[in-house]
Amino acid sequence: MEEYLQKVLEQIRCKQARKMVEEELRGHLEEQISDNLLEGMDRDEAVKRAVEDMGSPVETGISLDALHRPQMCWSMIILIGFISFLGIVIQTVIGKSDGTLGNSHIIRYIFHVVLGFGLMLGVYRLDYSFLGKYAKFLAGLGGLFLFLQAEFFPVSVNGANSWITLPGIGTFSISSMLYLAIPLYGGILYQYYGQGIRGIGKCLLWLLIPVYLAYRMPHLFQAGFLFLVEGVLLSYAVWKGWFQVKRGVFLGMFWGITLALPAGIAVLGVKLHWFAPYQIDRIQYYLGRLGHISGFSTEVIRENGRYDVVQFLSASYGVIAAVVVVAMVLILAMKGLHVAKKQKNQLGMMIGYAGALFFLFMTLFHIGEAAGFFPGTTSFLPFLSSGGSNLLVSYVVLGLLLSVYRYQNLLPAEQKKTVVHKRTGGFCKS
């Protein structure tokens, strides 16, 4: 039997596929052998007959090898290649238009694009299923590292202490790294699959950790963004029945509190001076003009040493240019949603949605900010804005999406789990 299996597996090049095929064929052989023994054959005869009934191992292996190859999402690779090239062109134009930025701005941007592309391809080759096993560990370790770094070894850049120095590379934004909490959260949700109301409670705690870290930096936009995206992922998991609770009740409570709480905190924060004076001014200013769309700017504005890509394009080349560029990023995000939806593996689906929603929501917030609908935030246009840290994180997240696509035929759907609750209460299903 082992010889038969080895001959089959030798024909299959993909490691993940070999494991899957071996399990299935071994199970089949064991059942056949078992039946043969019941028919009165001795062990050796039973095994020999079972193996003969399987057919040619080489032919079987070759057929399975042809079917089970890692997939490359070429459309996404081509799109990101084009967007990356476009980003270099845009930042080069920006760099040339402002003499104070100099060539170093362009060179630094190209360096980050090349490094990011390399990271993306590296992550793409990883088997993302490690997130299903180690998401909590990685999130805990990462969160602790970021917390200690920000608290005890902060590096100040432009007045913000949310940076770290990576030897040989330079400074890197801690807040950018926090965005990696989103795909990690997809893995955490998966780890609590089927654990009912307790699982949801733990998922809520894990949701709040990066939100709290962002709040402490302080990056209120990022805290809100993380809460929103992770909240949507949690809601989706609840909706899909991962936790076997009454969906309507939980979702109503969660989003009801979510919408009422920030409003309450904002009002109390202003009245009781919980926020810094500049934050209070901002809240009061923007609450006064919430929903007012000023449209994309007609003048090029430099803020904190940077130009916003959407504003620069609309001011320099018209709104259509800005819309076309933003549309490409949105297409990438929609493609990511499509990849996620196709996954039969639940972990792959959740990681896919995490990545796609990160791109989609960040782009929409950035458009809203550029159009004056939202207050000034730390949002960015994925793959096109100039911040190196955000660029690298965007490529890593895209690498995860590509990894999900790569292994879509190789990682099986999960077993249908039935969850037995020892006690029911509240909104648990009976």
Partner 1 sequence: MAISKTMVSGSMTMLLLKLLSEKDMYGYEMISTLRQRSQNVFELKAGTLYPLLHTMEEKKLLQSYEQEIQGKMRKYYSITREGRRMLSEKEAEWREYAGAVTSVLGLEG
Residues contributing to the site for partner 1 (CB under 8 A): 8, 21, 23-25, 27-28, 31-32, 53-57, 59-60, 63-64, 67-68, 344, 409, 412-416
CB distance 117 to 395 below 8 Å? yes
- For partner 1, the closer of residues 32 and 162 by Cβ is 32
- For partner 1, the closer of residues 305 and 412 by Cβ is 412
- For partner 1, the closer of residues 25 and 391 by Cβ is 25
- For partner 1, the closer of residues 52 and 299 by Cβ is 52
Q: How far is the CB of 64 from partner 1 (least distance, A)?
A: 6
Q: How far is the CB of 281 from partner 1 (least distance, A)?
A: 55
Q: How far is the CB of 415 from partner 1 (least distance, A)?
A: 4
- For partner 1, the closer of residues 31 and 151 by Cβ is 31
SS (H, E, C) the chain: CHHHHHHHHHCCCCHHHHHHHHHHHHHHHHHHHHHHHHCCCCHHHHHHHHHHHHCCHHHHHHHHHHHCCCCCCHHHHHHHHHHHHHHHHHHHHHHHHCCCCHHHHHHHHHHHHHHHHHHHHHHHHCCCCHHHHHHHHHHHHHHHHHHHHHHHCCEEECCEEEEEEECCCEEEEHHHHHCCHHHHHHHHHHHCCCCHHHHHHHHHHHHHHHHHHHHHCCCHHHHHHHHHHHHHHHHHHHHCCCCCECHHHHHHHHHHHHHHHHHHHHHHHHHCCCCCHHHHHHHHHHHHCCCCCCCCCCCCCEECCEECHHHHHHHHHCHHHHHHHHHHHHHHHHHHHHHHHHCCCHHHHHHHHHHHHHHHHHHHHHHHHHCCCCCCCCCCCCCCCCCHHHHHHHHHHHHHHHHHHHCCCCCCCCCCCCCCCCCCCCCECC
Q: How far is the CB of 252 from partner 1 (least distance, A)?
A: 31
- Could you tell me which residues come within 8 angstroms of residue 419 by beta carbon, excluding any fewer than 6 positions away? 194, 195, 196, 244
Parallel, antiparallel, or unpaired for β 302-303 and 306-307? antiparallel
- For partner 1, the closer of residues 60 and 385 by Cβ is 60
Q: Cα(first)–Cα(last) distance of the chain, in Å?
A: 46
Q: How far is the CB of 189 from partner 1 (least distance, A)?
A: 19
- For partner 1, the closer of residues 244 and 409 by Cβ is 409
For the record, the structure tokens of 2 come out as 């082992």
Q: How far is the CB of 18 from partner 1 (least distance, A)?
A: 13
Query: Would you state the torsion angle of the CA atoms of residues 392, 133, 339, 355, taken in this order, to the nearest 10 degrees?
Result: -30
- For partner 1, the closer of residues 23 and 151 by Cβ is 23
Q: How far is the CB of 134 from partner 1 (least distance, A)?
A: 21
Q: How far is the CB of 277 from partner 1 (least distance, A)?
A: 57
- For partner 1, the closer of residues 98 and 414 by Cβ is 414
Q: How far is the CB of 129 from partner 1 (least distance, A)?
A: 14
- For partner 1, the closer of residues 30 and 42 by Cβ is 30
Q: How far is the CB of 271 from partner 1 (least distance, A)?
A: 54
